[in-house]
Chain A
Amino acid sequence: MDAPPARPLPTAGVEETEASPSLVTPAIQTEDLCLFYGETPALRNVSLSIPERQVTALIGPSGCGKSTLLRCFNRMNDLIPAVRVTGRCRIGGQDILDDGVDVIELRKRVGMVFQRSNPFPMSIRANMVYGLRLQGIRNRSEQDQIVEESLRAAALWDEVKDRLERNALELSGGQQQRLCIARAIAIRPRILLMDEPASALDPIATMRIEELILDLRRDYTIVIVTHNMQQATRISDQTAFLYLGEVVEFDRTARIFTHPREQRTEDYVTGRFG
């Protein structure tokens, strides 16, 4: 019921005890994070400490604010007019909600994979080098090397190595989503945000994405929003249960799904509502 032994946990020393996630080095730390759409609160006093190089799942019923929370971490909510955020959100020792924060730099460190795969309608290679060129990597052989590494990391290399110049839209849905993951990790972020990355995929493609996530957690801090509770148990180390914009409970995944402290969590994970 605990994390599989094969995983190299940085928290190895404390994990078997009542380790709460906050004891581990936090990659993302929020304090009293509140978010309003106009006057409507969407997140209320979220205080979370998301540990480095682990998979943290955000679960909860539709509209509970889990995607909104995810989008705070790379300031994607900036794109929506009339959004107001208060509180603190520290990533890499910096409060990313500060006005002076370079959002462009932030997004290079905090990558994102979206619910609907969104490859650019260009060649596979052009998709992969898009982010690299933004970082000024123009040397072709250097690009090629990173493209290969990232596609390998996303378990896509063998399927596309002979057709890198073909349009990415010719790939299957699952391949497109893995391309989006490869594209996101090509720019070497520290954190990877995933917004229901497998919800539009068939079971086999979903399985491959899940395997990929377990692979990637060695190098990346992953925060994943999911509707699928089995998925959360399979891939995540921590789970936060959100309800009506509040974090009801945040703990090790095994604990959330077996001995939750809160009645509401238990009701949700056992399928009594949601």
Chain B
Amino acid sequence: MILPAGTRFLSRWGGPTGMLGIVLTGLATLVLLTLLGALLTSVLSGGIPAFSWRFVSTIPRKDFFDVESAAILPMIVGTTLRVLIMTVFVMPFGVVTAVYLSEYADPASPFTRWIRSAISNIAGVPSIVFGLFGLGFFVNFLGRGLDAVSGVGTPELGRPSLLWASLTLAVMTLPVVIVATEESLRSIPPGLREASLALGSTKLQTVWRIVLPQALPGILTGGILAVGRAAGEVAPILFTGAAYYTAELPGRLTDQFMDLGYHIYVLATQSPNVDQTAPILYATILALLFLTLSLNAGAILLRSRLRRNQRDAA
């Protein structure tokens, strides 16, 4: 029987129940898109009037709420730095842990299962708890301990700083990197490992020359997810490094820093005149969205270039 294309397609919808499925899933998608659209519209329409080159490129005076002189360069720098430093720490640790779990550890051993459940538990900890953990462990225990050992009079490491905030974020995003890396390691055909071992390579050589290069795009996906998660977080850095105000841009790892997310919180809650300062708030939100987006875009670009290189053979 020959039917016009449209009817055949329709018949595949499977009658009223099939129709119901399409309507429900379609509606859910629509609701989501509408919410996203509303959010972006409100941020854009509220933020663009106050958004200018001066706004993103100058250091503000202490009064953030003066619409004329408000600026966010230090916050952009601070957020970028803490995300990049976090990446430097979380990637090696996460990747090495994932390699251990997937290439070396005996999957059946209770120890391995214990490590895995520990990782999922880290993933489930609320971020404010990480903030308190960072304060207690990094700043007070590690920082003060190091200060005491080195014997400096004024606390150098034993106070909130860019380093401790980044490390706290690194601990928080560790599970994301581990899980993504493990997944990408699992997707590499076992035949490649066997081929390498059968040619007389050690396990380490196999991991280093065959497995990791193949897994690199997946590892970068882990990095992208970690950056995305960390860029907008405020709670973990609240006690570990973010400052309400610093006069200068952070120059050293031990400096405190201003942060876009925290600044948004400050603008939203401390403003003497909410209506008047709303444009600065929106413009700052816009900057944070843009920054997160461009950090992600950078990593995605890097990944796609890697994939292309791999396809074209090295």
- Measured CB to CB, the residues of A under 8 A from B are 74, 76, 79, 81, 104-105, 107-108, 111-112, 114, 116, 118-123, 126, 130-131, 134-135, 165-168, 180, 183-184, 187
CB distance from A100 to the nearest CB of B (A): 17
What are the residues of chain A within 8 A of B202 when measuring CB–CB?
104
The prevalent SS among residues of B at the interface is helix
What 1/0 flags go to B286-314 for Cβ under 8 Å of A? 00000000000000000000000011111
With A and B bound together, what is the CA distance between A104 and B106 in angstroms? 21
Task: Give the residues in chain A near B311, CB-CB below 8 Å.
Answer: 167
Chain B nearest CB from A221 CB (Å) reads 16
Q: Are A118 and B192 in contact (CB under 8 A)?
A: yes
Given contacts A122-B313, A122-B314, A167-B311, contact A114 B200 (CB under 8 A): no
- Interface flag for B274 (CB, 8 Å): no
List of A residues within 8 angstroms of B310 by Cβ: 121
Q: Which residues of A contact B33 (CB under 8 A)?
A: none
Q: Which residues of B sit under 8 angstroms from A74, Cβ to Cβ? A: 198
Q: How many pairs, one residue from A and one from B, have CB atoms within 8 Å of each other in the complex?
A: 72
Sample of 7 more A-B contacts, CB < 8 Å, known A81-B108, A118-B189: A114-B195, A118-B195, A119-B195, A166-B313, A167-B311, A168-B313, A187-B200
A135 and B198 contacting across the interface, CB-CB below 8 Å: no
Residue of A nearest to B188 (CB): A121
A-B CB proximity, top 10 nearest: A167-B313, A118-B191, A108-B200, A131-B199, A112-B198, A123-B313, A118-B195, A107-B200, A134-B201, A104-B200
- Asked whether, in the complex, the Cβ of B199 is within 8 Å of the Cβ of A184, the reply is yes
Q: Which residues of A contact B200 (CB under 8 A)?
A: 104-105, 107-108, 131, 134-135, 187
Please indicate the chain B residues that have their CB under 8 angstroms from the CB of A105 in the complex: 200
**Which A residue sits closest to B106, measured CB to CB?**
A81
The residues of B that contact A111 with a CB separation of less than 8 Å are 198-199
A201 CA to B200 CA, complexed, in Å: 26
